[in-house]
Amino acid sequence: MGRVEGKIAIVTGAAKGIGAASAKALAREGAKVICTDLDETVGEALAAEIQRTGGEAVFARHDVVDESQWERVTKLAEDRYGGLHIVVNNAGIAPEGRPIEDKPLAEWRHTLAVDLDSVFLGCKHGIRTIKMTTAKGGSGSIINISSILGLVGSANASDYVAAKGGVRLLTKAAALECAEAGYRIRVNSVHPGYIDTPMVRAVVDRGMPGLGVSGNEMVQFLTMLHPIGRLGAAEEIANTVLFLASDESSFTTGTELVVDGGYTSR
């Protein structure tokens, strides 16, 4: 028996990085996974790879800021697999760094929409669907991917830290609502340090031209921030997602699981 055998999961932003690793880990451990993303080519390839290796997955194009698309994706879970137990609210963006005084309001709003509104929508439609699936038995889990930058601040990332800090407390509100309503749904947030994914590679490639910092120096700089002496791997976050998705975490709700190589311990 896999650790999430028979459960049905939606993973957003599943084409790459942490989302792809989480979708693979859930499928490997027996879940049926709806992989969603904007990137159809890579998303379809991921679902096909999961199928090829003996797992069950389907891809759906899904913009996480669009409520009608959440309705479509949760309906897909019900129609194709018979319900829903797990939502991993993972899709997100890291905008180019800019001080508050230079940040256009439109950029702020876009980041808040993709990194925070999406998690609200994922909780809303996740709770509605999971509570029906689990009404007669079983349990559900919503996992919201925040960041170390939802716990501590960072210059030139006001929109990102505001969104990720919002995800942290939105998670606790959702956890309390589910517990107090008697739903069998746990809701937790995950706070990764810097993880080697396309998102971080883009940050590294940009460097910090204003400060004369190159891409190579940027990797060294980011590595130094992690006492463990390296950046994380997407699979290390996927392992945390798997734990929170499984019944192994049956008494864990409203918590913030920090997976950061010691970044926030200093």
Binds ligand NAP (CB under 6 A): choice among 63, 67, 177, 235: 63
Residue 16 interacting with ligand NAP (CB under 6 A)? yes
**81 part of the active site:** no
Q: Which residue blocks in the chain are alpha helix, DSSP H?
A: 17-28, 40-52, 67-76, 105-112, 118-133, 158-181, 198-206, 215-224, 234-245
Residue 17 interacting with ligand NAP (CB under 6 A)? yes
Residue 64 interacting with ligand NAP (CB under 6 A)? yes
Q: Which is nearer to ligand NAP, 197 or 240 (CB)?
A: 197
Q: Which is nearer to ligand NAP, 162 or 183 (CB)?
A: 162
SS3 at position 98 = coil
Contact 46, 23 (CB under 8 A): yes
Binds ligand NAP (CB under 6 A): choice among 142, 145, 170, 204: 145
Burial 105-140 (b: 16+ CB within 10 A, else e): eeebeebbbbbbbbbbbbbebbbebbbebbeeeebb
Residue 15 interacting with ligand NAP (CB under 6 A)? yes
Binds ligand NAP (CB under 6 A): choice among 2, 3, 30, 38: 38
Q: Which is nearer to ligand NAP, 66 or 134 (CB)?
A: 66
Site string for ligand NAP, 172-201 (x = CB under 6 A): --------------------x-xx-xxxx-
Nearest to 263 by CA among 196, 215, 191: 191
Residue 13 interacting with ligand NAP (CB under 6 A)? yes
Residue 112 interacting with ligand NAP (CB under 6 A)? no
Burial 63-102 (b: 16+ CB within 10 A, else e): ebbeeebbeebbebbeeebebbbbbbbbbbbbbebeeeee
Q: Among the candidate windows 8-16, 101-109, 177-185, 205-213, which touches ligand NAP by CB under 6 A? A: 8-16
Residue 168 interacting with ligand NAP (CB under 6 A)? no
Binds ligand NAP (CB under 6 A): choice among 19, 83, 122, 261: 19
Query: SS3 sequence, 166-184?
Result: HHHHHHHHHHHHHHHHCCC
Q: Which is nearer to ligand NAP, 93 or 112 (CB)?
A: 93
Rounded to whole angstroms, the Cα distance separating 195 from 201 reads 9
Contact 87, 145 (CB under 8 A): no
Total residues contacting ligand NAP by CB under 6 A comes to: 29
Of 160, 183, 194, 263, which is the active-site residue?
160
Neighbours of 202 (CB within 10 A): 12
- Residues marked active site are found at 160
Would you tell me which residues interact with ligand NAP (CB under 6 A)?
12-13, 15-19, 37-39, 62-65, 90-94, 114, 145, 147, 192, 194-195, 197-200
